[in-house]
A and B are shown apart, each in its own frame.
Chain A
């Protein structure tokens, strides 16, 4: 029997199941309980987006509110991970990573290598990404390419509730540091999600839709947008293959290359800014490995090279839309 839940509920369930499974899993972040030290109720928020609601009641001290102190608590999560815990830290918006980037890219990412293989840092940093909420430049970016750039980090960009649950469970069980990017426009979408625990392995792309004419590679919310575009194009007789790599690092290039060898065309849809983006990265790698199979230029559908704007008119222009995807694909033929 189908059980329809939201992306938010799927993430919550994954956390709950993993915390039940392994006492080493702890959670922390700003207002992940909400209400610490205040006179009203505890678990008032259960996370800025309500993703950790109810964990406090179940696990008590294993979930911790932090002061607004990203450097300290992200660093503490990293430190606790290297000391045998499995912390899941929530950092409200990926835009805030600037203040604690050192703890992620110089510390967590490099311990294993710098220490000659002897360290493991099983930390998960959950964060929200993406535009669409009219939240302007400091709360709307899709900065996952920055983390993808760093050897030692794994980066996950789930595209649906089912994906989010399985990938988060894998992230918690994974022994490397993971940046887990939850798109804000996905929070309330619903789908059938199994109640039981399951893990989706990293580095294995999901072929969301089969098609022989053009390969679309998309991340997070862009998978949904690409599916809309693919449905439209199907009516015109263009069959798109839509691939969700799930993780930007590791990246399942093999599945992408195989698809391109079949279709001869590649469109990469990426909400991040275009320079040094996933779109640019995949374009380059496919050109390198499957140049002979390409029958046309690789198309990148991305946000433009500007910060996310505030005004609805501008923001709508900023986010890649199904229309832009279909235009890009039509331009190939």
Chain B
């Protein structure tokens, strides 16, 4: 498996965008300016980017409550996302969805989702649509270790197998469903082990390693595109923040996150590798870091200075038409 310079730069830029976006939302949330519930994806970037780099706008993904990373990786525009998180009228969902419901169907992003395990059935539908539309598209459901225990997920694995749908189920196992350890809540060693029960391949991949995810994702997606059917890929990874912003994370060990950031930071691992291999140089990365910082800065300022929805917006968009 080889990646050219453009692809490497793209991968780094996407991962950096997600990290910077989440770090900044974390900071801004603490000021009290961001309303509602926010769940951050920092630490898991290699998974979203490793998969979405293989996808086009015609391919669909369904995400989770921890959805910012999937949105950015799938090409959803950052200013629209930030405005949405701030509840502004120019947000990608006109301020009606918020962090947990960011969607952009034109980009094939079928929505973050406030319901754990809601994505897999929807992605079966997206896979089914692709089959009828004969456009060679695939559909990817991202779920967490929590959703891996939901009936909807199991049912979808079965249905995707029975209907031979071009679907990929990505279990992002970050070790915790809210405050409960996946070692306790998942009845088997690997979520991927469950694939065997549904007659599909199950693969465990190091979710901290972009290159490993990218390769496995590429093959699973290629297989689905060629009519080979669904697969279940488990990315073992970690989240750097709590379940939600404001989570004191007392269920974690004191230095757990600090250690993870040192030993298992997918961005750092990526940077170390490409620098060590001489594939990119420090200037490349520094330029991206700087550019991304500016983008995020702009997005935050833009969101803060944007207007909020007005009272007339309350009742629009409930139906396409309603007499």
Binding site for B on A (CB under 8 A): 24, 26, 62, 64, 66-67, 69, 71-85, 87, 102-103, 106-107, 111-120, 151-152, 154, 174-176, 201-204, 250, 252
B125, A76: Cβ atoms under 8 Å? yes
In the complex, chain A residues whose CB is within 8 Å of the CB of B321: 175-176
Per a CB cutoff under 8 Å, which of B106, B121, B126, B128 touches A71? Answer: B121
In the complex, chain B residues whose CB is within 8 Å of the CB of A66: 159
Q: Which 3 pairs of residues, A with B, have the shortest CB-CB distance?
A: A75-B121, A79-B125, A116-B94
In the complex, chain B residues whose CB is within 8 Å of the CB of A83: 60, 110, 125-126, 129-130, 133
Min CB distance, A188 to chain B, in Å?
A: 32
Within 8 A of A (CB), among B116-144: 118, 120-126, 128-130, 132-133, 139
B133, A102: Cβ atoms under 8 Å? no
- Asked if B155 is at the interface (CB within 8 A of a chain A CB), the reply is yes
A75, B125: Cβ atoms under 8 Å? yes
Min CB distance, A51 to chain B, in Å?
A: 21
Within 8 A of A (CB), among B194-223: none
A112 touching B125 in the complex, CB below 8 Å, given contacts A67-B158, A71-B151, A118-B103: no
Number of interface residues of B (CB under 8 A): 49
In the complex, chain A residues whose CB is within 8 Å of the CB of B75: none
A203 to B118, CA, bound (A): 31
A301 to B301, CA, bound (A): 59
B94, A72: Cβ atoms under 8 Å? no
A116, B163: Cβ atoms under 8 Å? no
Selecting from B4-12, B46-54, B182-190, B312-320, the interface stretch reads B312-320
A120 to B319, CA, bound (A): 8
A72 touching B152 in the complex, CB below 8 Å, given contacts A67-B158, A83-B126, A83-B130: yes
A176 to B319, CA, bound (A): 6
A80 to B166, CA, bound (A): 13
A115 touching B103 in the complex, CB below 8 Å, given contacts A75-B152, A83-B60: yes
In the complex, chain A residues whose CB is within 8 Å of the CB of B92: 116
In the complex, chain A residues whose CB is within 8 Å of the CB of B95: 116
In the complex, chain A residues whose CB is within 8 Å of the CB of B93: 114-116, 118
A111 to B155, CA, bound (A): 22
Min CB distance, A201 to chain B, in Å?
A: 7
Per a CB cutoff under 8 Å, which of B91, B101, B110, B322 touches A82? Answer: B110
Task: Report 16 cross-chain contacts, Cβ distance below 8 Å, ordered by A residue.
Answer: A67-B158, A67-B159, A76-B156, A77-B125, A79-B129, A80-B125, A103-B152, A107-B113, A107-B122, A112-B317, A115-B101, A116-B93, A116-B95, A116-B97, A176-B321, A176-B322
A117 touching B94 in the complex, CB below 8 Å, given contacts A83-B130, A202-B323: yes
Min CB distance, A18 to chain B, in Å?
A: 15
In the complex, chain A residues whose CB is within 8 Å of the CB of B118: 75, 102-103, 106-107
A112, B159: Cβ atoms under 8 Å? no
In the complex, chain A residues whose CB is within 8 Å of the CB of B124: 72-73, 75-76, 79
Chain A residue nearest to B323 (CB atoms) is A203
A80, B126: Cβ atoms under 8 Å? yes
- Asked if B269 is at the interface (CB within 8 A of a chain A CB), the reply is no
Min CB distance, B147 to chain A, in Å?
A: 12
A119 touching B103 in the complex, CB below 8 Å, given contacts A75-B118, A75-B121, A114-B93: yes
In the complex, chain A residues whose CB is within 8 Å of the CB of B319: 112, 152, 154, 176
A50 to B104, CA, bound (A): 39
B122, A78: Cβ atoms under 8 Å? yes
Min CB distance, B310 to chain A, in Å?
A: 14
Per a CB cutoff under 8 Å, which of A74, A79, A82, A117 touches B316? Answer: A117
Query: Per-residue CB proximity of B47-73 to A under 8 Å, as 1/0?
Result: 000000000000010100000000000
A114 to B110, CA, bound (A): 11
